[in-house]
Amino acid sequence: MLVNILGLAAMLALSSGYISGLPCRCPIEPESVERDFKSSAAVFLGEVVSVRGARGRLEARLRVSRSWKGIDTEEVSVFEPANSAESPNYRTGVSYLVYAGMHDGELFTGMCSRTKPEALAQRDLQQLGEGQKPKRVRG
C-alpha cells in the first residue's frame, strides 16, 4: 500500500513539473491578455528575419510591424532557451505576436510565454487594439 502511495505521489510530481529540471506544463491558454500584457516588458508583432543559436539559447531577430509596449524600433532581438518545448520556437518568415520579459538587459520569451504566430493570435490582437508603428530605425 505504501509503495502505491509513493508511486502515485511521484507520478503527480513528475506530471506537474514540480521536480527541478523538468519542463513546466503550460496552460492551453494563459488566463488573460491584460494580465500577460501588464507582466511583459514588451508586446509587439514582428516577422522573424533570422534565428541563430549561441550559448544554450536562440536569438530571433524580428522586423517589428506593430508595438503595444516597450518597443519603438523597426528591428529587435528576442532570446529563448534552446530546445524548449514550451518556447515559441521562432521560424524565419513567420510573424509572431510577442510577449517578452526582460533579463540582464535583453528581451526574452521563455517557457510558457503567451507568444504565438500571428495566425493563432487573432483573439489577442482584437483585445490589444491597433498598436503603434515603430518610430525609429535601430542603429
For 12-52, how does the pLDDT look when each residue is reduced to its tens digit (9 = 90+)?
Answer: 333 333 223 334 555 555 568 999 999 999 999 999 999 99
Length of the chain measured in residues = 139
Q: By percentage, how much of the chain surpasses pLDDT 90?
A: 55
For residues 68 and 127, is the Cβ–Cβ distance under 8 A?
no
Every domain of the chain and the residues it spans: 28-128
pTM for the model? 0.75
Long-range pairs for 75-79: beta carbons < 8 A, 24 or more residues apart: 75/49, 75/138, 76/42, 76/44, 76/46, 76/107, 76/138, 77/106, 77/107, 78/107, 78/108, 78/109, 79/106, 79/107, 79/108, 79/109
| Count of other CB atoms within 10 angstroms of residue 87 | 22
Question: Which carries the bigger pLDDT value, residue 69 or residue 10?
Answer: 69
| Predicted pLDDT at 115 | 92
CATH number for the region 28-128 comes to 2.40.50.120
* Farthest CA pair distance, the chain: 67
